[in-house]
Amino acid sequence: MAQVLEFKLPDLGEGLTEAEIVRWLVEVGDVVAIDQPVVEVETAKAMVEVPCPYGGVVTARFGEEGTELPVGAPLLTVAVGAPEGMETSGPVTPGPSGARSGSAPSGSSSPSSSSGSSATESSGGSGNVLVGYGTGAPAGRRRRIRPDRLDRTPALSGALTVEVPVPATPVSAAPVSGAPGVPVPAASPTAAPGSVAPVSDGPVPVVSPLVRRLARQHDIDLRRLAGSGPEGLILRADVDCAIRRAEETEAARTRTAEAAAAPTGASPAAASPAASAAPAAERIPLRGVRGAVADKLSRSRTEIPDATCWVDADATELMAVRAAMNAATGPSAGPKVSVLALLARICTAALARFPELNSTVDTEAREIVRLPGVHLGFAAQTERGLVVPVVRDAHTRNAESIGAEIARLTELARTGKLSPAQLTGGTFTLNNYGVFGVDGSTPIINHPEAAMLGVGRIMPKPWVHQGELAVRQVVQLSLTFDHRVCDGGTAGGFLRYVADCVEQPAVLLRTL
Beta strand segments in 244-403, E: 306-314, 359-362, 367-370, 376-378, 380-382, 385-387, 390-391
Pairing of strands 385-387, 380-382: antiparallel
Report CA dihedral (106, 109, 113, 117) to the nearest 10 degrees. Answer: -140
DSSP string, 229-252: SGGGPPPHHHHHHHHHHHHHHHHH
* Ordered DSSP codes for 106-173: TTPPPHHHHTTS-HHHHH---SS--BTTTTSPPP--EEEPPHHHHHT-GGGTTPPP-EEE--PPPSEE
Dihedral angle at the C-alpha atoms of 22, 26, 27, 32, nearest 10 degrees? -150
Are the beta carbons of 34 and 53 closer than 8 angstroms? Answer: yes
Q: Which of 414, 422, 444, 431 is nearest to 45 (CA)?
A: 422
| Omega within 30 of 0 (cis) for the link into 448 | yes
Catalogue the active-site residues. 483
Q: How far lies 106's CA from each of 117, 272, 356, in Å?
A: 21, 85, 78
Check: CB of residue 142 under 8 Å from CB of residue 163.
yes
Give the type of residue at 205.
P
At residue 67, φ and ψ (nearest 5 deg) are -80, 140
Return phi, psi of residue 337, to 5°: -105, 130
